[in-house]
Each structure stands twice: as structure tokens, then as C-alpha cells.
A and B are shown apart, each in its own frame.
Chain A
Amino acid sequence: MTDFNHTNREPNFLEYKGKYKGILGWITSTDHKRIGLLYFYSMMFFFLAGVVMGLLMKYELISPGEQIMGAQTYNGLFTLHGLTMIFLFVIPGVAAVFGNFFLPILIGAKDVSFPRLNLMSWYLYIIGAIIVLISQFIGDGPPDTGWTFYAPYSLKTNTNVVAAVTGAFILGFSSILTGLNFIVTMHRLRAPGMGWLRMPLFGWALYGTGWIQLLATPVVGITFLMVIAERLLGIGFFDPAIGGDPILYQHLFWIYSHPAVYIMILPAMGAITEIIPTFARKTIFGYTAIVISSMAIAFVGYFVWGHHMFTSGMSSTSRWVFSLLTFLVAIPSAIKVFNWTATLYKSSINLQTPFYWAIAFVFVFMIGGFSGLVLGSLATDIHVHDTAFVVAHFHYIVFGGTGFAFFGALHYWFPKMFARVYNFKVANTGLIIFFIGFNMLYFPMFYLGLLGMPRRYYDYLPMFHSANILSTVGSWIMATGLLIIIINLIRARKGSGKEVDDPWDGKTLEWTIPSPPIVENFEEIPEVKHGPYEY
């Protein structure tokens, strides 16, 4: 651990006073670290709002019949829950917060390539989010289409679809610009001596992600514009009543929205790949294999979208081709899991909170991945498609995967961002409760799906009752764990914890500089002489 000494330092990024003071100083700052935190605070707000919506939905489902809301409210709620969680939390996710904060530091740069564009991305994110929220209050009521906006329902419903879709369209630009910025940063700003194969693996994960954001997001942007045009002008792209094709909508939507799952999960895998070597006190096993698997996921991920449409009436040929490709995209993820596990062999593990998160991540991510195999296979997907099984699967991937990695990364980099440590015991207790609640909430949904309970169900037959009770109680336990975790971090941020520079003795570049980092990260740009994880 480095000695802590506040004197003789340049002002750190938290205390730096620029042209403006207070909040203005933050929302006009082009410092990548401040932008990372702007994303962090706004995303946490939306995430917690999404959690509350989820809890209300689970409460409604505790028994058949109406508990606390009517069907229309419920349908609006699962739509808003999906929109909030997908577009405002997991898609920007680990990349927007930790990518912004740490990518430049990890590669030895003073900032991203286009700092002003970076700030503009955050503004686009906020504008998009505000429009999505406005859609709840103006027009003929909150959208009730689900986050997928499937045509022709999204064209026929009276609710305020246009505003929600416009918000999502703007959010897309935020994502595209962030991806572009990161790609250019990695090409242009790596420190002297840092060849591509000396770049930390979080960087590689963001590189793969950046290309998906750049190439796939425009597709959904155009699709959303077509929905708006169809609703306002009755053009007839997707509504068969006026000559459109609803299946076309599904293709266009999933050409983006499947790769979007990799936008969510790749940076998460990257963050886990940073955590494991630090606490194993050991270099990562199979650096090159992990790089190749990240790029393979980013590439093959473009060609599997059809597995969302196995029951749409697609031709048999497209069904088996998409099924085969879906199985192939599973392999690079498996390779990562094997390499993480192998890294632990003959290591010297420092059992700390971030490491527990990483282990918990690998476990829930595996369940998510394996259940994905059930959905990739044709006969089994026919049975569980559009049932609670799918809901369980993607919550294990996007919440179990991205969410766990987000909290893991937060506990890992928290001392670097704020120069404080949190109470480890409380953090670990929170994690255990959260982990138990998480599995109790989502695992019964696999069973419900196998039993045949359709998804997006406001009410259900008594045969589905017992598993639903378990799931709802799980949601309460999970929320309790989450509350403990968050309060613990807030207390640490407010100054209850010890001041530190580096509690973990990490080896990547962010741990070579003081905490919190100074405004331009490095007093002198470092020269890199070896790979990132030389213990």
C-alpha cells in the first residue's frame, strides 16, 4: 500500500475548480472522470427507479388476480421498467461509467480523444432519458408495448409510443458517439510502449463493444424513425393492414438488439477480467485467448439475431442457420469462463469484496449462459419462447452478468475514484443477501417457463402460484441486500472510511497514480515496458 499524503499534489479531479463552481463545474467539465461520474449518478438514479418498478410488478404477481394495480398500469410498468433498465442502465452500463473513468487511465492517456464529444454524449443521454420520462405524462398515457415496440401493436395502441421511441432514438446517438470515442482513443492515445497486446483486457472489451455500438446502433435508430413515420404519416412499413410487414420490424429490431446484449455484457466481462488477476495476485491465464474471444463475440454476435424469432413463422432454413450460429457464439463466452477459472490455479488469493463479486458474477453468468443454450436450440425454444423462462434467462445475463459486474467494478474501483474504502464486512453481508435474493427471485422463473407460464402476464392461473410467491419474496430479499450495499457505499463516500491510495496493490496503470486521480491523470505520461498483469 502506498503511503497516503495529500500535500504536494496537483488538485485531484474531485476538488479541481475550473471556470464554474459547484454543479455547473461538473456539467460543463470535459474531464472523462467527471463525465464517468455524471453517468454514474444519473444511471444509479434510473437503476433504482427501475428496481422500484420491478418490486411493484413482483408484488402484483404474488397472487392471481389484482393486488395493487390494474392491467393497463401493469403493462405500462413493465414497458417503463424495460425501457429504463435496458436503455438507461445496462446499455450505457459498465462502459459509460467505468469505461469513461478508467479507459484513458488504463492506457496511460490524459483523456479520451474527443472530450467535448464525450460530454455531448452525456447530454444526449440525459435528453433521451427526459423524453422517455415525458412520454409517461403527456399524450394518451404511458406506452404499453413492452421495450421491444413490436409492430403492429406499437402502431395501433393509443398510448404515447412516439415520445418513447424518440427518446430511445436519441439515446442511440449517445451510445454511438461513446463507442466512436473509445475506439479512436485506443487507436491514438495508448502510452508509449503499450502495444495492442499490452493493453489491459478491459480496454479490449471496450474496443469490441465500441464497434458494435458504432455499427449496430444506427440500425435500431432507423427502425425507430420508421415506427415514428408510420405512426404519424401511416406510411405502411410494418402494418400489414396498409401493406407493411410486421416480421420486417422484428428483423430490424433484433439486428441491433441482439448485438446490444453484447454491448451490455462485453464491458462487464472486461471489468471481471481486471478484478480477477488483482486479487489472485497472478497474471491472467490466456491473455490472447481472451482478446480473441472478445472480438469473436463482437463479430459473431451480429449474426444470431434470428433466434429471437424462432416462432415467428420464419423459414426452416433460417431457423436452423440462426440456431447453429447461436450455439457458436456460446463458445467464446465459455473460453472466458475457463480462462478466469484457470487464472485461480496456483494463485494467491486475497479474499476481498470485489473478488467475491467476481466469483458471484461467474456463477450467475454461467446459469444465464447455459439457459441460453436451451433457447438457442430449436425444439426447446419452441416450448419456452416468450415464457417466464426467457425472463429468467435475460435477467441472469443482464442483471446477473452486467449488474453483478457493475457492482463488482464499483467495489473494485471505488477507492480509486474517491480515495476511500468502505466497510468490507457490511459490503460482504450485503452481497450475500443480494445473491440469495437474486437467485430466489429469478430461478423460479425457469421453472414457471418450463411449466408454460407466458411472459408479460398481468394475471395467471393458480397452477403458477407457488413459484410466483417464492419469486416475489426473493425480490424483497434482493432489495434488502441492495439497500445495504448502497448505504454502505454512500457512507464511505461521505467520509466514514479510511483514506487510501490503493487498498488492493493493483498492477495496472490506474494503481500507479494517486487517489483520487489528478485532473490530467498522469504528471508524466508513463512508458509501458511489459504486459498489464505482471505480478
Chain B
Amino acid sequence: MYSGASNFVTTTDTAFAVIIGISVIFLVGITATMLWFVYRYNKKRNPVATQIHGSNTLEIVWTVIPTILVLVMFFYGWSGYSPMKKAPEDAMKVRATARMWSWLFEYENGIKTDTLYIPVNKAVALDLISVDVIHSLYIPAFRVKEDMVPGKTNKMWFIGQKEGNYELFCTEYCGLSHSYMFTEVKVLPQQEFDTWYAAMADTSKQSAMAAKPGAAGRRLVQVNGCLACHSADGTKLIGPTFKGLYGKAHTVITGNSEREIIADDDYIIKSIYEPNEDIVKGYVKGQMISYKEQLSKEDIAHIIEYLKTLE
């Protein structure tokens, strides 16, 4: 279907063809033999059975032949897999971070995105990080998948060989919005990628973006995946919407008691650093982790500027 989208497609699909091919031959062969016996040796056609206790020759034959065949399958599986472990030295490095329930990609020049942009025909090596529970990064078209285990850095590499957009899923169940934790890989021509890469890194452009009120905060909210749970348009998701949040009164539950608060700067900071202290009434506790490692007080100041724009 995506034939040739990455350097691993041919080897993996060959292994599929070998295993499924042999399996189908055996499935059809054994089923046909069985049905033929059922027809031929029906009690009407063969009223008296011939008692046969077994045959050592046959037992050896049908032990040895399947053994050889499964070793062949093993070999194709192994040889298709083994290059996946050895990323070339000159591969472009991207740090992929997963958290409930969004993705973050950090490039060598410091830019951050929620979609993976890569140049065509260039090896890309990902460091796989998780900040909360186990996730798994899966790009079906590329035939690659590796778990993202908290406390551990797994690796993955590939070469995108065809321009286009490809789905990227989380395949390790990670809670409430697991099935919404997907993004895209965009494989761009080298030149287009370079332009994008330079433009994103350009500080003047970033400051131009920052000139617009709340723009820096908006980017932070995007790349940190906040919008997976907090909408900007008033839709109720897992957490309260950002729209009309700042400066208003809210009922929260602290411990076991209800209280009224005003969503001021201190409240926003506390909600990001200790998200389970005050839970807005009507929402579930324990869905969000602390972002103390990811967001500085300065970052939060930008986010507050952004929240102010969402009246």
C-alpha cells in the first residue's frame, strides 16, 4: 500500500510474503486433505476403519520439514529486523517525546514541533523519550515501531524514501485519549525541508511571531501538547477549556472541600506545576502530570499572555 515509503518496507514485506505464503499453502493443503478424508472415509463410503497406530517415518518427516520452514521464516524476520538497530553515523537526530496524549519533536537546532518533519532520502535517528507512562511510536507506512519507556531512551531510525504525509500512532495503551494520540510524519524534498528548518530556527522570525500578543504562549501550548486535553474554543475535553479561563472565578475541589478561586497568575502556575492540588469541579483528578521540568516561569508568563487573548 505504501510500497517503498521507507528503507525497511521491502525487507519487512518480503518477510511477510514468505511467512504468509508458506502459511497459506499449509492451511489450504491441510484443510483440503482433512475435508477430502472426511468425504472419502465417511462411514457410508468406508464402513470399516483400518487401524493404523502411527508411523515413525511420517513423524520424522513432519517434524523435520516444519522445523526447516520455521528456521527459514526466522531468518527472514531476523535479517529484516537487524538493520533497524544500526543507525548510520550521519543520521539527522531528532528527540521524540511522548506524553499523555501528544507528541513533541525537538531538532538539533532547538526547534520544537508536534508534527515530525523530515527530508526525503536522509537517515533520521530518533531518541525516544516518555515523560509519564509507556507509549509506542509507530509509523505503519515505514514499518517501524518502538516503545517509549519512561526512565529509558530507546532508539529508532529510518529513511523516508517518498515525499508525502504518513500517519504516526501511539500503539501502547496509555489511558483515556490513547486513540487520539496521533500525528503525522511529513517527508519533504531536501530543499523545502531546509527552507522550513532555517525559517523555524530564525530568531528574527520567532521574535516577529512573539510580537503578536500571546504568540509565544500559543506555540508553547502547541508543542507541549496542552491542547490535547484543554481546548481553545470552549469544547469540553479532559481538562477545562482555555477559553475564558483567565481572570474568572472557578469552583475547585481542594482535598475534599470545595472553594472558589480566581484564575490569576499564581493559580495558573500552580495548576501547571501541581496540577492535582486544585481540581476544577466536574473534572477528574490525576489526568495531568506536573510540567515543572518542561515549562519555566518565563514560559508560563508567555502562556498567560496567550490565555488572556482567549476571551
Contact = CB atoms under 8 A, between A and B. Distances in A.
Interface of A: 71-72, 75, 144-146, 150, 152-153, 156-158, 240-241, 245-247, 280-283, 285-289, 311-313, 316, 319-320, 323-324, 327-328, 330-331, 334-335, 337-339, 341-342, 344-351, 359, 362-363, 366-367, 370-371, 373-374, 376-383, 385-387, 450-452, 454-461, 535
A75 B175 contact: yes
B226 interface: no
Contacts of B91: none
Given A281-B43, A286-B53, 19 more contacts: A245-B151, A282-B50, A282-B51, A282-B52, A285-B54, A287-B54, A312-B147, A327-B74, A341-B37, A344-B34, A346-B49, A349-B37, A362-B30, A373-B19, A377-B76, A380-B12, A382-B84, A458-B178, A458-B179
Interface residues of B, number: 84
B46 interface: yes
Interface of B: 1, 8, 11-12, 15-16, 19-20, 23-24, 26-27, 30-31, 33-34, 37-38, 41-43, 46-55, 58-59, 62-63, 66-67, 70-71, 73-74, 76-82, 84-85, 132-134, 136, 138, 140-141, 143-147, 149-152, 154, 167, 169-180, 182, 284-286
Contacts of B27: 366-367, 370
Nearest to B23: A370
Contact of A382 (B20, B24, B145, B178): B145
A283 B173 contact: no
A220 to B, nearest CB: 19
Contacts of A286: 53-55, 58-59
What 7 A-B pairs are tightest by C-beta distance, nearest first?
A452-B140, A240-B151, A377-B77, A379-B80, A378-B81, A370-B23, A344-B37
A367 B178 CA distance: 29
A75 B174 CA distance: 10
A454 B171 contact: yes
A381 B77 CA distance: 8
Given A282-B51, A347-B49, A461-B167, A456 B59 contact: no
Nearest to B72: A327
Contact of B63 (A152, A281, A335): A335
B145 A378 contact: no
Contacts of B46: 346-349
B62 A334 contact: yes
Contacts of B152: 240, 247, 313
24 contacts: A71-B179, A75-B173, A144-B175, A150-B173, A240-B149, A246-B149, A280-B49, A283-B53, A285-B52, A328-B70, A331-B70, A335-B63, A335-B66, A344-B37, A374-B19, A376-B74, A379-B8, A382-B81, A454-B178, A455-B173, A456-B178, A458-B178, A458-B179, A459-B179
B38 A351 contact: yes
A240 B132 CA distance: 9
Nearest to B54: A286
A282 B48 CA distance: 9
Contacts, number: 262
Contacts of B182: 461
Given A150-B134, A348-B49, A458-B178, A373 B73 contact: yes
Contact of A383 (B12, B26, B175): B12
A311 B236 CA distance: 35
A331 B134 contact: no
Count chain B CB atoms within 10 A of each CB in A157, A382, A451 and give the residue with the most: A382
A348 B73 CA distance: 37
A330 B150 CA distance: 34
Contacts of B53: 283, 285-287
A303 to B, nearest CB: 15
A342 B59 CA distance: 10
B82 A316 contact: yes
A461 B183 CA distance: 12
Contacts of B177: 71
